[in-house]
Amino acid sequence: MKKATKKEILEIHQLFIERYDDAVTELTYKNAYELVIAVALSAQCTDKRVNIITPPLFLKYPTPQLLAQADINDVKSFINSCSFFNNKAKNIILMAQRVVEIYNGAIPMNEKDLQTLAGVGQKTANVVMIEYTGANLMAVDTHVFRVAHRLGLSDDKTASKTEATLVRKFKNDLHALHQGMVLFGRYICTAKNPKCEECFLTEFCRTTKTFKV
């Protein structure tokens, strides 16, 4: 696959920013505590599903202090329509316990401390930072990975290498680029039957002609 040239990378960067400058996550949340949990639950699960299960969960457990003392089976009963709910229930309780014990009940807002919380890896930490603080970070989920490869921005085999490549190539506005690539991949450059007729990046597309208009 032919890699995107420097000129193309600049143009792709510009087009994403023009279109998605104000884009934010589709997860619903009211504060950092709810955001961390929503992002953690969204792994291998749709935002739509997470937005259905979190309101009653947050109603019952509105603070880390309350979630830290929760019965795991009760938490499971709120999130059992979400994939990997057994592990996720265990992790969000452990996460709340650490937030209470180590961080005085406040979610630590930097990616290193976030990653010390149960169930929070680099991608989840970066997504939280991008969304909550507008940090100049990239996070590569399935949508960003697919879009980056179709546009010739990356030929890396893993999400973490793709992240490093996108950071190196785009350099700035990473938070808007991340949000934009997620939405573009979710609604236009979909895994199956991408809506190429709606695409504003066809001239940069490296995928098979069958996708192209």
Please, what is the minimum distance in Å from the beta carbon of residue 23 to ligand SF4? Answer: 17
Any idea which residues carry the catalytic annotation? 123, 141
Tell me if 57 contacts ligand SF4 by CB under 6 A: no
Taking CA atoms, 51 is separated from 41, 162, 167, 193, in Å, by 10, 28, 29, 26
Q: Which is nearer to ligand SF4, 113 or 156 (CB)?
A: 156
Choices 18-26, 59-67, 107-115, 204-212; region in contact with ligand SF4 by CB under 6 A:
204-212
Q: At what angle do helices 72-79 and 47-60 cross, to 10 degrees?
A: 140
Taking CA atoms, 30 is separated from 96, 108, 164, 180, in Å, by 16, 16, 30, 22
DSSP code per residue over 20-68? HTT---SS--SSHHHHHHHHHHTTTS-HHHHHHHHHHHHHH--SHHHHH
For ligand SF4, which residue of 91, 159, 199, 209 counts as binding (CB under 6 A)?
A: 199
Tell me 153's DSSP state. S
Taking CA atoms, 38 is separated from 2, 56, 129, 149, in Å, by 37, 12, 13, 27
- # residues contacting ligand SF4 (CB under 6 A): 13
From CA 34, how far away is CA 83, in angstroms rounded? 18
Please say whether the beta carbons of 167 and 138 come within 8 A.
Answer: yes
For ligand SF4, which residue of 9, 72, 189, 209 counts as binding (CB under 6 A)?
A: 189
Choices 47-55, 58-66, 112-120, 199-207; region in contact with ligand SF4 by CB under 6 A:
199-207
For ligand SF4, which residue of 103, 196, 209, 210 counts as binding (CB under 6 A)?
A: 196
Tell me if 4 contacts ligand SF4 by CB under 6 A: no
Token pair listed for 135: 């940090």
Choices 38-46, 71-79, 96-104, 200-208; region in contact with ligand SF4 by CB under 6 A:
200-208
Interface mask (CB under 6 A) for ligand SF4, residues 144-183, using x and -? Answer: ------xx--------------------------------
Tell me if 1 contacts ligand SF4 by CB under 6 A: no
Angle subtended at Cα 76 by Cα 37 and Cα 139, rounded to the nearest 5 degrees: 30
Interface mask (CB under 6 A) for ligand SF4, residues 112-151, using x and -? Answer: --------------------------------------xx
* Residue ranges that bind ligand SF4, judged by CB under 6 A: 150-151, 188-189, 194, 196, 199, 201-202, 205, 207, 211-212
